[in-house]
């Protein structure tokens, strides 16, 4: 009986352990490849969102520049118009 248990133990070590390690190693490699692909997909998605945010930010900056220009340019023109109104006497229209 002891001889059979020794043979069984020997068989488990010589055959079973390499089979288990081979299957486990292959599964681990597949899992690692899957994780790498998921990380690549996440990186691509993150890069795309970053590009969209950058484009949106650029559009907003352009709009702010236009608004600043309108406010500052119109402010100078408006100030000049106010000063011209102060300098000219009001017209009094006479009935004909």
Q: Which tens digit of pLDDT belongs to each residue from 62-92?
A: 989 888 887 777 667 777 777 777 776 666 6
**According to the model, what pLDDT value does residue 90 have?**
61
Cβ partners under 8 Å of residue 48, min gap 6 = none
Which residue has better confidence, 28 or 78?
28
Helix, strand, or coil here: 89? coil
Q: What is the pTM of this model?
A: 0.47
Within a 13 Å sphere around the CA of 23, how many CA atoms are in the beta-carbon half? 5
DSSP element (H, E) containing 65: helix 17-87
Q: Is 15 exposed, middle or buried (0-12, 13-18, 19+ CB in 10 A)?
A: exposed
């Amino acid at each position: 009986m002891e001889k059979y248990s020794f043979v069984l133990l020997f068989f488990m070590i010589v055959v079973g352990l390499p089979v288990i390690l081979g299957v486990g190693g292959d599964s681990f490699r597949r899992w690692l490849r899957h994780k790498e692909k998921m990380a690549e997909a996440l990186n691509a998605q993150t890069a795309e969102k970053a590009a969209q945010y950058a484009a949106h930010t650029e559009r907003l900056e352009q709009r702010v520049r236009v608004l600043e220009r309108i406010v500052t340019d119109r402010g100078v023109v408006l100030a000049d118009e106010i000063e011209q109104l102060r300098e000219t006497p009001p017209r009094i229209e006479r009935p004909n």
